[in-house]
Amino acid sequence: MSLFDLQGRTAIVTGSSRGIGRAIAERLAEHGARVVISSRKPEPCHEVAGEINARHGAGRALAVPANISSRSDLASLVQRTRDAFGPVSTLVCNAASNPHYGPMSSIPDDAFRKILENNILSNHWLVQLVVPDMRALGEGSITVISSIAGLKGQTTIGAYGISKAADLQLVRNLAVELGPLGIRANSIAPGIVRTDFARALWEDPVLRAQMENSSPLRRFGEPDDIAGAAVFLASPAGRYVTGQTLVIDGGGTIA
C-alpha cells in the first residue's frame, strides 16, 4: 500500500472553494479520499466539488457551505458529511479571516473578537464535533493551517498573528489529549502564498521584490506547495507525526 494512500478516508476541508484549501481538497481526493468542500458561498463550493467529481468519479466530493462563525453551521457540516460519506477521519481547518490591517493600537474590539473566534474558536468547535467519529475509528488526523505570522512579531497583522500562534498551541494540546485515542493533530505554517487572501502582499511590486529577495528560494509559495504537506499529514506516511508545526515558507523565517 502506498504511504500516501487515502482510500476509504473521509475529509472535511474548510475554506476549500479557493486557494490553499481548494488545493488541499483536490490533492486529498487525488490520493483517494472522499472530500467535503466548504466555505460561506454555495456556488464556488459546488463548482469545486463538481470539478473533483468529474475528474475522479461521482461521489468523491460533496459541497456543504458553512459559516465558520456559526457553531450550528459547523454541526450541520459534520452531520451532512457523516450522512453522505460516513465517519470523519480527516479534518483540515483552513478557513480564517483577517478584517484588520494596521497596528494593534488601532484595532476595534469587534474586529479583534472576530479574528479570535474565526481563527481559533471555530477550529475548537470543529474538533469537538469530529472527535467522536475518530474515537470510534481508533484513528484520525487533524490539521490546522496556521501561518508564519504566528511565529514572528507583526506591525500590521498583529491580531491575526496572535490567533495563528494560538493555533500552534491548540494542536499541541490536542496531540497530548487525543494521542492515546490514535488521533493526531498538527499544523502547517505557510509563508506568503499566491492566493486572494494575500493578494495585497504579492501584487505590490516593491514589497514583492523585497520579500522574494529575502527568501532563499526567491519566490512566493503556490497553493500546491502547502497541499502536499496536508496529504502527508493525513496519510499513513505521517502516522508518527503529531503536535508539530510544519513551516513551509521557502526558507523565509531562517534567512
Q: Is 58 in contact with 52 (CB distance < 8 Å)?
A: no
| 160 has catalytic annotation | yes
Alpha helix locations (H) across the chain? Answer: 19-30, 42-56, 71-85, 109-116, 122-137, 158-178, 199-202, 205-214, 223-234
Q: Which long-range contacts (CB under 8 A, 24 or more apart) does 102-109 make?
A: 102/156, 103/155, 103/156, 103/158, 104/158, 104/159, 107/158, 107/159
Catalytic residue, from 160, 202, 220, 232: name it.
160
By the 10 Å C-beta count (0-12 exposed, 13-18 middle, 19+ buried), 137 is classed as: middle
Residue 187's region, left for phi above 0, alpha for psi from -120 to 50, else beta, is beta
Q: Tell me the catalytic residues.
A: 160
